[in-house]
Structure 1
Amino acid sequence: MAAPESEHPTLSQPTELSGGDYDPANPPDRLRVLVALGPSTYFFANGRPHGVEFAMLSELEKYLNRTRPKGRAPLRIQYVPVDAGALLPKLRDGEGDLAAGLIPVIAGAGHLAEFTVPYLNERWCLVQNRSKPPLTKVEDLGERAVTIPAASYGRRVMAGELASVKVVEPPLGTSTEQLFAQIQRGGDTATVASDYVLGLWSQRYPALKSQSCAAASVPVAWAVAPEHPQLLSVLNRFIASTGGKLASKAAGDTRRFLPKDARADAPDEMSSTDKLGFFAPMLQLVAAANNLDWLLLAAIGQRETKLQPMTRKGGGPTGLMQVNPNTARKMGVSNPHDTEQNVTAAARYLTYLRRLFSDRGITPTDQLYFMIASYNAGEGRVQQLRKKAKAQGLDPNVWRGNVEEVARRTVGQHLLDYVSSVNRYYLAYQAADRSADKREASKPAR
């Protein structure tokens, strides 16, 4: 992104809790939710987020917007995917307003967070292939080990029952759901899982059977930082309003999207297409705050960095969107090296450019071309090109075949290639988005 040649207005930042509490009379513009990245809770399919926690939180977002004061932009949830084991520590450190990840409320957790009323009351059980001899109690495993991922809540929920048997950890990064796949194929693998998660995957893995469950059920809830008691009250009212069907509806909404390999890749393992999915919630949030199409932000990010944040602290363009720090400051953004602030600066600059090229004689298509060209070369340079086009008898309000030709002769082919490349990505993303919508609409109602 080129530095702007003129002073830009400073736009207001989206409001968030930022250490305060949720005020229903003046609610924030967004909530930061730490969500467990996993093949049941929060994952990406076809570039879009899914998962039971995503489904439940989407319902929460709708609920909060139904009572939002008139004239306010809709509240958006900002999803912050993290490992399940990091949910409560990161919540305690102020990195989110609430944490979601099928969290059981067990002894010792209360010093880290407050918990909502439960949206589930769950049993944890041993899980093995139904062809194996039945287990009436854990000790019936004999010399067989129970394989439990280090981050699994089942290890703590069933600590008493597991004390008399051998417990082993699978390779780092293996999920309970991947163990399900191993059990489906046969062998001696046994693990521990909740009835809810097992039920979610039961159609995919029909050979699984739960046996020898913990004596007592355990409440499952969302966690909230202690300094947000009003937010806790709002969440409790929402959960109560769902009539006990929140989790079951989420399972129904999620089941058909479950990843085929039971994986939810970490960001550094994703392809460029998957990275679009990973960044989609943030891009959508920032775009909505600036009345932009998030797919345009995605297209520019793909062209600038292939959606791989490139941090440079020497003064040059930086971050996912390659924002010039000087431009970021003029857009009211103090830290362009932070990914979200970087995207915010880019979105605000594009909003400014859209206003700049909003003359009555400029079509929406040409407005977009001028915005993209200015993002790369600076709006002052593009305005100069328009003046030269007019002086040469060309139409200054039309990019193709007019201002474009002046740019080719005076700036060079690289600017034309940039505009063409971003436009190509943008059209491809739009086509993919339309295809996904058509596929969704064509599915029979359940």
Structure 2
Amino acid sequence: MKKVLILFFSILTLLLFGVQCTFVEKKLAAISKKEAYVLDLQGIQNRGFIRAAVDNNSTGYYIYRGRRMGYEYELLRDLAKRLKVQLHLVLISDIDRAFDYLQEGKVDLIAMNLEKNMERSDRASFSIPLGKMNTVLVGNEFSGKITSWDQLASDTIYVREGTVYKTQLCNLKDSLQLNYTIIPTPDHEETLIDQVAEGDIKWTIADQNIAQANATYYGGLNTSWKVKKEAEVSWVVRQNSPNLLSSLDTWLVDKQKRFIPDLYAKYFLNSKNSYFRSTSPFSSLAGNQISVYDDIIKNGAEQLGWDWRLLASLVYKESRFDTVATSYAGARGLLQLMPVTLERFGVENPNDPSQSLMGGVRYLRYLDKFWIERVPDTSERLKFVLASYNIGHGHVEDAWRLTLKYGENTQSWSSVSKFLELKSDPDYYRDPIVKSGFAKGHLAVNYVKDVMSVFDSYKALVEP
């Protein structure tokens, strides 16, 4: 206790009478360092999914016309496929908090452009570099073009907390004997760029790719002055996850010749596409619409008692919001109903979005009623309903009977889904209690996971 008090008053004294920019940060980092959570690649694969911390910005991860997009998102989706696991994304704006989440086991990977330094290396293991990044000063048309650091005089520069920007500016300030003021803030780089563009603040710092992407839809932004020359940026994993790190590095080596450069060009070098994705009302970056059919989806969701973003997730999975979509099996409309189902639930024109949507809603209500007594819990029953919508309630009911026969929990989707996957095994689909025969049940199980994954994204990025 005495040591803690001495350290506290030492830090307080230094704060009052002046310190080097990074002294307090280093001390506080040492104090806050916690014992790391242990889980490597095999444990992640046994669990079935990898958790990755990502930023919600105009290039990293967002929703555009119902589709999940972003540079980091597409990279992570490919990595998860390589590792044969599902991808769970965790949105974190606070970089220091992301490192805490990593050590606590709330995420397994931080997928942000992180420059390696001593403090970060003490807390995590860095992958091989994804590429190189410049840091730039961002001003507006009234800030003036910078050709020398002296021109900043006693200006104030706002920087995002947890980034390397403050350290970079501190080093320049100390070495060049400059007088500008640095103010850390929890605001994201893009929020600070918004404030610069609107004239609320004069200067901020951002990675060049983020600055350039924002400059495509903010006229007059000045991003030409580099704070630091190119530096390598990487992702990080826990220090006790060497096998995950090895697999990550191998994947990066495989993808650096074409896949990563192609994705980089898609998100950072095509300014026209970046502009439309970032300013569209159907983008989670600028608006709060998923599709042009949001109003009828909200009406249908109200009748179901669902979150409208869940029904939107199902529509996206079925038709990508295409009213004239027709499957190889003849399913049609927004919710891809088969001809017999269209007729049964009163849909005369499957290409009419309202008719198609409401026909699907009536079918979903029928399925919910079918399962409500056997699965009273709403959140569990939802998965039974989704699987039934995909493969037919007869096959899901067979799995329910098998679950009952083998003494497992018939009200748990986790238990029933195991037997649904076994419906392609003759030892199970030939059982006398199975009425609907063979089924590729694993496809329905994956279907439920996919819809719920899209729903999780919509919940994170689109307001209720």
* TM-score normalized with structure 1 length: 0.51
Distance 1:116 1:100, change over 3 A: same
Indicate the residue corresponding to 1:258 in structure 2.
Answer: 278
1:320-359 aligned at under 5 Å gives the runs 346-347=382-383, 351=387, 357-358=393-394
Which letter does structure 2 place at the counterpart of 1:276? R
SS in 2 for 1:95: coil
Residue 81 of structure 1 and its aligned partner are, at CA, apart by 1.5
Deviations 1:107-132 (A, max 9, x none): 30012211111102212121213564
SS in 2 for 1:80: strand
Distance 1:252 1:216, change over 3 A: closer
Indicate the residue corresponding to 2:341 in structure 1.
Answer: none
Distance 1:203 1:166, change over 3 A: same
1:1-40 aligned at under 5 Å gives the runs 19-23=38-42, 29-40=48-59
Quick one: which of 53, 64, 69 aligns to 2:72? 53
Quick one: which of 152, 157, 181 aligns to 1:141? 152
Rounded to whole Å, the distance in 2 between the matches of 1:166 and 1:359 is 66
Quick one: which of 213, 217, 231 aligns to 2:244? 231
Indicate the residue corresponding to 1:84 in structure 2.
Answer: 94
Indicate the residue corresponding to 1:166 in structure 2.
Answer: 181
Residue 91 of structure 1 and its aligned partner are, at CA, apart by 0.6
Deviations 1:362-404 (A, max 9, x none): xxxxxxxxxxxx99xxxxxxxxxxxxxxxxxxxxxxxxxxxxx
Rounded to whole Å, the distance in 1 between the matches of 2:131 and 2:80 is 19
Rounded to whole Å, the distance in 2 between the matches of 1:184 and 1:25 is 43
Residue 252 of structure 1 and its aligned partner are, at CA, apart by 4.1
SS in 1 for 2:246: helix
Residue 233 of structure 1 and its aligned partner are, at CA, apart by 0.9
Residue 224 of structure 1 and its aligned partner are, at CA, apart by 0.6
Residue 131 of structure 2 contacts residue 232 of structure 2 at CA under 8 Å; is this kept in 1? yes
Which letter does structure 1 place at the counterpart of 2:208? D
Residue 30 of structure 1 and its aligned partner are, at CA, apart by 1.7
The answer on 1:95 being equivalent to 2:95 is no
1:271-282 aligned at under 5 Å gives the runs 276=309
Task: Give the number of aligned pairs.
Answer: 286
Deviations 1:189-238 (A, max 9, x none): 21111112123333223422334423443321111112211111111111
Indicate the residue corresponding to 1:104 in structure 2.
Answer: 115
Deviates more, 1:243-252 or 1:146-155: 243-252
Rounded to whole Å, the distance in 1 between the matches of 2:102 and 2:225 is 33
Distance 1:148 1:247, change over 3 A: farther
Residue 47 of structure 1 contacts residue 276 of structure 1 at CA under 8 Å; is this kept in 2? no
Which letter does structure 1 place at the counterpart of 2:136? C
SS in 1 for 2:123: coil
**Structure 1: runs of 5 or more not aligned:** 1-17, 66-74, 285-294, 304-322, 329-335, 337-341, 361-373, 376-425, 434-446
Residue 119 of structure 1 contacts residue 246 of structure 1 at CA under 8 Å; is this kept in 2? no
SS in 2 for 1:121: strand
The answer on 1:210 being equivalent to 2:223 is yes
Indicate the residue corresponding to 2:189 in structure 1.
Answer: 176
Indicate the residue corresponding to 1:240 in structure 2.
Answer: 253
Rounded to whole Å, the distance in 2 between the matches of 1:214 and 1:245 is 29
SS in 2 for 1:239: helix
1:296-445 aligned at under 5 Å gives the runs 346-347=382-383, 351=387, 357-358=393-394
SS in 2 for 1:205: coil
Residue 44 of structure 2 contacts residue 50 of structure 2 at CA under 8 Å; is this kept in 1? no
Indicate the residue corresponding to 1:126 in structure 2.
Answer: 137
Residue 22 of structure 1 contacts residue 28 of structure 1 at CA under 8 Å; is this kept in 2? no
Which letter does structure 1 place at the counterpart of 2:236? A
Deviations 1:33-90 (A, max 9, x none): 122233432233344433221122123234445xxxxxxxxx3211122223221110
Which letter does structure 2 place at the counterpart of 1:125? V
Indicate the residue corresponding to 2:214 in structure 1.
Answer: 201
More contact order relative to length (CA 8 Å, sep ≥ 6): 1
Deviations 1:152-187 (A, max 9, x none): 4422344312553112356x6x43223333444568
Residue 145 of structure 1 contacts residue 166 of structure 1 at CA under 8 Å; is this kept in 2? yes
SS in 2 for 1:238: helix
RMSD: 4.8
SS in 2 for 1:101: strand
Indicate the residue corresponding to 1:222 in structure 2.
Answer: 235
Indicate the residue corresponding to 2:166 in structure 1.
Answer: 155
Rounded to whole Å, the distance in 1 between the matches of 2:57 and 2:243 is 29
Rounded to whole Å, the distance in 2 between the matches of 1:359 and 1:246 is 40
Rounded to whole Å, the distance in 2 between the matches of 1:264 and 1:153 is 25
Distance 1:106 1:216, change over 3 A: farther
Rounded to whole Å, the distance in 2 between the matches of 1:198 and 1:215 is 14
Residue 32 of structure 1 contacts residue 80 of structure 1 at CA under 8 Å; is this kept in 2? yes
Q: Aligned residues: percent identity?
A: 16
SS in 2 for 1:60: helix
Residue 136 of structure 2 contacts residue 205 of structure 2 at CA under 8 Å; is this kept in 1? yes
Rounded to whole Å, the distance in 1 between the matches of 2:313 and 2:165 is 31
Residue 103 of structure 1 and its aligned partner are, at CA, apart by 2.3
